Structure 1
Amino acid sequence: MGAAIPTAANRLPVIGHGVQLARRRTEFLASLTEVGEIVEIDMVGMPAYVLTDPDLIWRVLVSESHNYLRGRMFDKMTEVLGNGLATISGKAHRDTRRILQPTFHKQQIAAYAPIMSSTAADVAESWRAGQAIEVDDAMNDLTARVVNGILFASDLGAAAADAIQRRLPVVMRGMLTRTLIPGAWQRLPLPANTQYRKAIEQMDSAIDTAIAAYRSSGADHSDMLTTLLSLKDETGKPMSDQWIHDQVITVAVGGIETTSAALSWCLHYVGTRPDVEKELHTELDTVLGDRPVELMDVMALKFLGRVVQEVLRLHAVAVFMRRTIGPTQLGPYELPAGAEIIVSPYTMHHNAHWFPEPARFDPDRWLRPETQNLPKGAFIPFSAGHSKCIADNFAVLEITLALAEICRRWRLRPVPGQAVREITTGATRPNRLAMRPEARGRATV
């Protein structure tokens, strides 16, 4: 018999821990660290097991990953992502990742750098000193323009780019709630449900139209959709339109939602921490002078890199899930077949054992030996193993270049009286981040 698995407190009849998951899911999940290294919760009538120990997480994601499939969260995500790389398991996942790998090779990602930096420059140039902007909306716009510029360089993809940019926020607001709180309410004709389904339909239709137009033109538009259309399976046959559709929407979701959230948080901390701002501006002035940021500058922007890494820790993705294929031994614990497992990067990154003063934004924690030698599974902003985000280097590069380009031009100051709080969609993002840009001159170095 395996070791006993504790159950989270305050479980209610029928709805289980649904209230905590709906109203304060990140705080609730982070609190389970004090309960045990694996904790059972009730997701409105469905048991799930939350892992809070890095070794158990590493076993599930990497060393014993063959015992698991993607879980309920990814079942729900197929409503949006279809059979894209982010939702499939096993051989299908391995085959798709192998086919897509060249698209995200380091050299290919490097070729995207000019689009990233020039788009950030365009967004920053549109601001006016003293005129308040909603930074979270602006960063969503920036990342959407980058992703769409890389996916669709041709006007043939303009409608798809517009649909993704406009409809994706609606989709992301509904996706996580549908995952964590099952129920018949999802089928009711409520405004939120209607908007969610309509947004998916509009994105799907626009992407399908773009794929058909690209195939019909037969031209090389030097973009990612052209590359996807040129890919072939193991038999040498072109990939189907549906396969390409699913990868396009997966790239859009992965490249916009979490990246825009991370960029927003970076600007929040730089704008509210004078010590962070001073060190970052000094580094930017030393490395860049008066010129725009380039790919070659990334390695020299060491403090900026730590700012990004600390944001990825502090505001990580709330959850992703796995499911046991059969009865499974996970360390000393026995899990039944079909057990739903929750891995929460947010919870791991707020564990005081691995990250002292976990709620404190501290870029220099990444210089300390104890943080540089974390156990496997303790820091997983992009997951790990075969399921690690294929575009992790893409995301970090985009955040780095955009943050450098914006901060070399502006100081951003929070608008008084506007409280910023963390909300959870696909990412953990600021609910509303109103700031005023102030032009800055280059410091003397």
Structure 2
Amino acid sequence: MTEPSREIPTAPGARPVIGHLLPFVKQPFTFLSQLPEHGDLVKIRLGPKTAVVVCDPGLTRKVLIDDRTFDKGGLFLDREREWLGESVATCTHSKHRHKRRLAQPAFHPRRLADYAHTMTTQIASVVDGWQSGRVLDVCPEMFTITSKVFGAAMFSSTLPAGVLHEVIGDLTATFDGTFQRTLLPDVISRLPIPSTRRYNHANRRLRTTMNGIIAERRASGIDNGDLLSALLTVHDRESEAPGTIDDDVSDAVVTFFVAGTETTSSALAWVLYVLAENPDIEARLHAEVDTVLAGRRPEYVDLERLSVASRIVTETLRLYPPAWFFTRKVTADVELGPYELPVGSTVAVSPYLIHRRADLYDDPGRFDPDRWLPERTASPPGALLPFGGGARKCIGETFGMTEVVLALVIIASRWRVETVPGTSMRPPLSVSLVPGGLRLRVVDRRAGG
């Protein structure tokens, strides 16, 4: 057995005090994409904080599968707990089984057909209101779709317009604030400066909004057969205080709302972006939709026949994974590849980095949905991570994929999307990879334009 090395290579370009903070903030995706040139594990410094970035798919898979040694925690996740609490997505290994048992019934496969019907109704309620030639501010528009979908699936009702507007603002402030608070010294996060006040206010109001909805459901005593009812049923069966609202339920609702709206809307926005940039592939999608659906709305049973749509979504998630960078905390001394990681180390995983390795994907920057055809060579284990992996893989993966594919198909049934000359798009540095500033024109296919 080879003796583990003691020194993990450090990425070049570190400056005194700030380390690699400048390139990470200014051009994070370029910076990350260059790290594999320096090794399978590469150390980066973000101010006073250090993380080991895993650049190899096999080692990445090991990190994700061994969730006891590589536990939830580290730079960004510790900050996310400030507003998501100890949910199934953020809790430590010791609490995960209980948290997942609480949430699992809400995402049981037998519920998906009902959820799909809810999804199509809510998606169409937004998409059918578009006007041909309208220029969409894509990210807010997609958030409107996903919030209506998730509101109906989670609560059996959509959020009022005023509440929805508040929630959008609160999520934006919280997501952006999470990243800023991670990269800045802790002392700044405690100062009463405007950004800190915005973050704290958004955090409190978001939690209050969700708890208010839960309280209304508790007071009604009605089981609506939705996600919230499933959560409350399991909670009451296992809790020592049934009928209450404790952190388990509150944390789960906030986490699922964030995942079901913010990250899903980001994925859907990127899907429309790649379609506008690739009209030949959009034409193939239109042909499939017209053939399979013949003018009707999609149903859950149609998904297996909508293979072009599914491959478009998978390829978009490869190029633009919403969860583009996350961390784990080492709980015991461990060997990872040829290196020794001491307890307490922060390990970082970047699906964006892995998904764009040229040794894993031919021409990795090119949008090619056909790379996911069954007859094409499958990606190696650990090479496709839009939903994470191992026991901590996203519990809502199938729900999210179903929603994005259905939304894509409903949009493509009627609309063509076009780029808008003179507009620019720049992803902000945030927890989720979002095409900030993206504007696209929608054209009604029925008008022949």
Residue 302 of structure 2 is matched in structure 1 by: 297
Amino acid at match of 2:416: R
1:39 match: secondary structure: strand
1:382 match: secondary structure: coil
1:430 match: secondary structure: coil
2:12 match: secondary structure: coil
Residue 326 of structure 1 is matched in structure 2 by: 332
Residue 309 of structure 1 is matched in structure 2 by: 314
State the shift of 1:178 in Å.
2.4
**In the alignment, does 2:77 pair up with 1:74?**
yes
Q: 1:153 to 1:234 in 2, by over 3 A?
A: closer
Q: 1:165 to 1:115 in 2, by over 3 A?
A: farther
State the shift of 1:382 in Å.
0.4
Residue 177 of structure 1 is matched in structure 2 by: 180
Q: For 1:234 and 1:438, how far apart are their aligned partners in 2?
A: 51
Q: 1:233 to 1:17 in 2, by over 3 A?
A: farther
Q: For 2:376 and 2:337, how far apart are their aligned partners in 1?
A: 25
State the shift of 1:366 in Å.
1.5
Q: For 1:157 and 1:102, how far apart are their aligned partners in 2?
A: 27
Pairing 1:372-411 to 2, within 5 Å after superposition: 372=378, 374-411=379-416
Residue 15 of structure 1 is matched in structure 2 by: 18
2:428 match: secondary structure: strand
Pairing 1:17-416 to 2, within 5 Å after superposition: 17-62=20-65, 64-72=66-74, 73-153=76-156, 163-232=166-235, 237=240, 238=242, 240-316=245-321, 317-367=323-373, 371-372=377-378, 374-416=379-421
Structure 1: which 5+ residue stretches go unaligned? Answer: none
Q: 1:421 to 1:235 in 2, by over 3 A?
A: closer
Structure 2: which 5+ residue stretches go unaligned? Answer: none
State the shift of 1:284 in Å.
0.6
Q: 1:370 to 1:295 in 2, by over 3 A?
A: closer
Q: 1:236 to 1:366 in 2, by over 3 A?
A: same
Q: 1:156 to 1:12 in 2, by over 3 A?
A: closer
Q: For 1:381 and 1:183, how far apart are their aligned partners in 2?
A: 30
2:235 match: secondary structure: coil
Q: For 2:158 and 2:128, how far apart are their aligned partners in 1?
A: 24
1:31 match: secondary structure: helix
Q: For 2:280 and 2:403, how far apart are their aligned partners in 1?
A: 24
Q: For 2:294 and 2:238, how far apart are their aligned partners in 1?
A: 52
State the shift of 1:163 in Å.
4.5
Tell me, yes or no, if the aligned pair for 2:211 and 2:250 is still in contact at 8 Å.
yes
Range 161-170 or range 431-440, more displaced: 161-170
Amino acid at match of 1:323: K
Amino acid at match of 1:177: Q
Tell me, yes or no, if the aligned pair for 2:67 and 2:392 is still in contact at 8 Å.
no
TM-score of the pair, normalised by structure 2: 0.93
State the shift of 1:314 in Å.
0.1
Q: 1:153 to 1:257 in 2, by over 3 A?
A: same
State the shift of 1:60 in Å.
1.0
2:11 match: secondary structure: coil
Q: 1:159 to 1:53 in 2, by over 3 A?
A: same
Deviations 1:255-301 (A, max 9, x none): 11221111111111212212111111111111111111111111101
Amino acid at match of 2:153: I
1:441 match: secondary structure: helix
Q: For 1:323 and 1:371, how far apart are their aligned partners in 2?
A: 33
Q: How many residues align?
A: 441
Question: What is the identity percentage for the equivalent residue pairs of Structure 1 and Structure 2?
Answer: 37
2:39 match: secondary structure: coil
Q: For 1:130 and 1:235, how far apart are their aligned partners in 2?
A: 53
Q: For 1:154 and 1:17, how far apart are their aligned partners in 2?
A: 46
Deviations 1:131-179 (A, max 9, x none): 2111111001111111111222258999876643442122112222323
Tell me, yes or no, if the aligned pair for 1:163 and 1:206 is still in contact at 8 Å.
no
Q: For 1:89 and 1:402, how far apart are their aligned partners in 2?
A: 34
Range 253-262 or range 342-351, more displaced: 253-262
Tell me, yes or no, if the aligned pair for 1:160 and 1:207 is still in contact at 8 Å.
no
Q: 1:144 to 1:110 in 2, by over 3 A?
A: same
Tell me, yes or no, if the aligned pair for 2:214 and 2:245 is still in contact at 8 Å.
no
Tell me, yes or no, if the aligned pair for 1:152 and 1:161 is still in contact at 8 Å.
no
State the shift of 1:24 in Å.
1.7
Residue 436 of structure 1 is matched in structure 2 by: 441
Q: For 2:265 and 2:159, how far apart are their aligned partners in 1?
A: 25
Amino acid at match of 1:77: E
TM-score of the pair, normalised by structure 1: 0.94
Tell me, yes or no, if the aligned pair for 1:56 and 1:331 is still in contact at 8 Å.
yes
1:49 match: secondary structure: strand
Tell me, yes or no, if the aligned pair for 1:355 and 1:371 is still in contact at 8 Å.
no
Tell me, yes or no, if the aligned pair for 1:21 and 1:181 is still in contact at 8 Å.
no
Q: For 2:79 and 2:325, how far apart are their aligned partners in 1?
A: 13
2:25 match: secondary structure: helix
1:12 match: secondary structure: coil
Tell me, yes or no, if the aligned pair for 1:135 and 1:434 is still in contact at 8 Å.
yes
Q: For 1:14 and 1:241, how far apart are their aligned partners in 2?
A: 42
Amino acid at match of 2:423: Q
Q: For 1:165 and 1:225, how far apart are their aligned partners in 2?
A: 20
